[in-house]
Amino acid sequence: MSFPDELRALYTKQKYGLVGSHSAVKTCHWQSRSLNTKGKENCYKNRFYGIPTHRCLQMTPSVGHCTQSCLFCWRATPETLGVGWKQTQPIEFPEDPENIIDGCIDEHRKQMSGFGGNPNVEREMWKEACDPIHAAISLEGEPTLYPRIGEMVDAYKSRAFKSVFIVTNGTTPEVLSELSSEPTQLYISLCAPDRETYERTCRPMIPNAWDKVMETLELLNSFSCPTVLRHTLVPKLNMHNAEGYSRLAELSNATYMEPKGAMSVGGARARFSYKEMAWFHEIQEFAAEIAEASSYKVIDEHEPSNIVLLSRLDKAINLY
Q: Which domain holds residue 145?
A: 5-311
Q: Is residue 320 part of a domain?
A: no
Q: Do residues 231 and 190 make contact, with C-beta atoms less than 8 angstroms apart?
A: yes
Pairing of strands 227-233, 185-189: parallel
Task: Answer yes or no: is 319 within a domain.
Answer: no
Cα–Cα–Cα angle for 172, 174, 176, nearest 5°?
A: 75
Answer yes or no: is 76 within a domain.
yes
285 occurs within a structural domain: yes
The 8-class DSSP code of residue 115 comes to: G
CATH for 243: 3.20.20.70
Question: Does the predicted TM-score (pTM) go above 0.85?
Answer: yes
Domains: count for the chain: 1
| Residues in the chain, pLDDT under 50 | 1
Residue 1, pLDDT score: 47
> Which pLDDT does position 2 carry in this prediction?
62
Query: Which of helix, strand or coil describes residue 228?
Result: strand
Any domain includes 316: no
Q: Which of 173, 163, 154 is nearest to 97 (CA)?
A: 154
Instruction: Report which secondary-structure segment, H or E, holds 205.
Output: none
CA 220, 226, 231: angle at the middle one, nearest 5? 70
Q: Is 267 within the bounds of a domain? A: yes
